[in-house]
């Protein structure tokens, strides 16, 4: 069974890890978010793609949920001594990824090909795909002016009030052939519990992607990143509010209106089941808070199994029994 996940960074990588280590892990593709990409010290950093890759490679710093484990910061400290701005944490080993990506980009290699190579070298067998090879960037309009995502998130600690958010460059971006192929070939498409505004929208709003998702035979199901009206972590609630969506499962469903066929909500939100079903969605209630690998795999397997039943798909075990 071919599963395609649309994912942001830390929240999405949890779902990716669950699927990867589940019985559905051998035909997994993940389209990651590139709208948080940015230049640091002349190097092209792609935080969400690296979080996905490091997570699936089992190299992630599990305490932080991002970055490589067992890191040191000699390079960052040396840059600081030179008077550089070092608010963005970049570990020594992590720097190698950014050096490699930048050097490959400069020699004209497509970012998709670079991401694929990095994943392969780190032993990841899932297909990590980019929605576009062009530069698109989240821009956050705050009371303190326009900020890119990392400046808002890391440098400013999500403090400034958000007035508006848009993704620069997205109107002129082209979808990668790899992502269109994965969408067309998928049996089930899952939207990870990621930030809808700055992680998922910059994937689905790349021209051509939304239409491909609509015309794909695969049902599209989202897992809510909101539990009981709150984010598990991060500024998704404030971003939803700034874009006029309520910061709860109803807001997430509104944000994904016309895009999703199924919706996975947390047990804490089960009272919303009937109103969501009345809007035409197939709704599944599950324990969606993922604290460890067991939670992640179990959520992944439950989502695939139950959504397969709801949409009449044959999932892994059923296919195996028929053979
Ligand atoms: P980022 O790119 O690192 O910000 O990560 P994502 O966009 O992929 O994910 C951020 C979202 O993940 C936040 O809105 C969190 O509420 C959500 N999230 C994180 N962990 C969990 C979890 O265990 N369960 C659910 N349902 N959502 C989660
Ligand atoms: Ca991100």
Residue-wise pLDDT tens digits, 75-114: 999 999 999 999 999 999 999 999 999 999 999 999 999 9
Round the average pLDDT of the chain to a whole number and report it. 96
- Output the pLDDT for position 303: 98
**Ligand 1 close to Cβ of residue 47 (< 6 A):** no
Name the maximum alpha-carbon separation found in the chain.
65
CA distance 146 to 136: 15
Q: Which of 233, 269, 288 to mutate to test the pocket of ligand 1 (most atoms within 8 A of CB)?
A: 233
Q: Is residue 177 part of a domain?
A: yes
Q: Of ligand 1's atoms, which has the minimum distance to the CA of residue 196?
A: 7
* 15 falls within a domain: yes
Q: Is residue 161 part of a domain?
A: no
Number of domains in the chain: 1
Bridge partner residues of 262 (DSSP): 221, 282
Q: Which CATH number covers residue 204?
A: 3.40.50.10680
Closest atom, ligand 1, to C-alpha of 232: 16
What is residue 111's three-state secondary structure? helix
In a domain, 214, yes or no: yes
The confidence score (pLDDT) of residue 271 equals: 98
Quote the pLDDT of residue 31.
99
User: pLDDT value at position 314?
Assistant: 84
Look at ligand 1, atom 1, and give the residue with the nearest C-alpha.
9
Q: How far apart are CA 119 and CA 53, in angstroms?
A: 6
Q: Domain for residue 54, yes or no?
A: yes
Residue 68, in any domain of the structure: yes
Q: What is the pLDDT of residue 176?
A: 98
Q: How far is the CA of 11 from the centre of ligand 2 (A)?
A: 9
**Which ligand does the CA of 291 lie closest to?**
1
Distance 41 CA to ligand 1 centre (A): 28
288 lines ligand 1 (CB under 6 A): yes
* Ligand 1 atom having least distance to the Cα of 200: 7
Quote the domain boundaries for residue 259: 3-135+169-322
Residue 258's pLDDT is: 97
* Closest of 161, 250, 164, 169 to residue 202, by C-alpha: 169
| pLDDT for residue 60 | 97
Cα–Cα separations (whole angstroms), residue 148 to 11, 84, 202, 305, 307:
20, 18, 14, 39, 36
**Is 162 contained in some domain?**
no
- What does the pLDDT read at residue 315? 72
Give the mutation target among 195, 224, 286, 302 for probing the ligand 1 site: most ligand atoms within 8 A of CB: 195
Residue 204: phi and psi, rounded to 5, are -75, -20
Quote the pLDDT of residue 183. Answer: 98
Residue numbers in the chain where pLDDT is lower than 70 = 316-323
**Ligand 1 pocket, residue 12 CB under 6 Å:** yes
Q: What's the pTM?
A: 0.97
40 within domain boundaries: yes
Contacts 24+ apart (CB under 8 A), 73-79: 79/41
The dihedrals phi and psi of 265, each to the nearest 5 degrees, come to -120, 160
What's the CA gap between 276 and 103, in Å, rounded?
A: 48
Predicted local confidence at residue 319, as pLDDT: 59
């Amino acid at each position: 069974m071919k599963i395609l996940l649309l994912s942001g960074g830390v929240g999405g990588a949890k779902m990716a890890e669950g699927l990867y280590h589940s019985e559905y892990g051998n035909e997994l593709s993940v389209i990651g978010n590139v709208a948080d990409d940015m230049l640091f010290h002349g190097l092209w950093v792609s935080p969400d793609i690296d979080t996905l890759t490091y997570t699936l490679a089992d190299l992630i710093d599990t305490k932080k949920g991002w970055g490589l484990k067992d890191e040191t910061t000699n390079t960052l400290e040396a840059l600081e001594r030179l008077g550089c701005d070092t608010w963005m944490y970049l570990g020594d080993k992590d720097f190698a990824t950014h050096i490699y990506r930048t050097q490959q980009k400069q020699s004209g290699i497509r970012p998709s090909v670079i991401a694929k190579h990095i994943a392969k070298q780190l032993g990841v067998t899932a297909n990590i795909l980019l929605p576009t090879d062009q530069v698109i960037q989240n821009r956050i309009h705050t009371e303190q002016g326009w900020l890119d995502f990392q400046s808002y998130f890391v440098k400013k600690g999500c403090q400034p009030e958000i007035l508006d958010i848009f993704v620069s460059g997205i109107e002129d971006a082209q979808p990668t052939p790899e992502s269109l192929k994965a969408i067309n070939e998928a049996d089930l498409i899952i939207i990870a519990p990621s930030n809808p505004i700055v992680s998922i929208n910059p994937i689905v709003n790349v021209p051509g992607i939304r239409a491909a998702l609509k015309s794909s035979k695969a049902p599209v199901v989202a897992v809510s990143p909101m539990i009981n009206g709150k984010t598990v972590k991060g500024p998704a609630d404030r971003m939803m509010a700034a874009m006029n969506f309520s910061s709860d499962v109803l807001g997430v469903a509104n944000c994904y209106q016309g895009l999703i066929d199924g919706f996975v909500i947390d047990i804490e939100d089960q009272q919303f089941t009937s109103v969501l079903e009345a809007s035409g969605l197939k709704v599944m209630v599950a324990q969606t808070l993922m604290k460890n690998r067991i939670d992640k795999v179990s959520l992944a397997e439950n989502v695939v199994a139950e959504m397969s039943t709801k949409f009449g798909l044959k999932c892994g075990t059923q296919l195996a029994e028929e053979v």
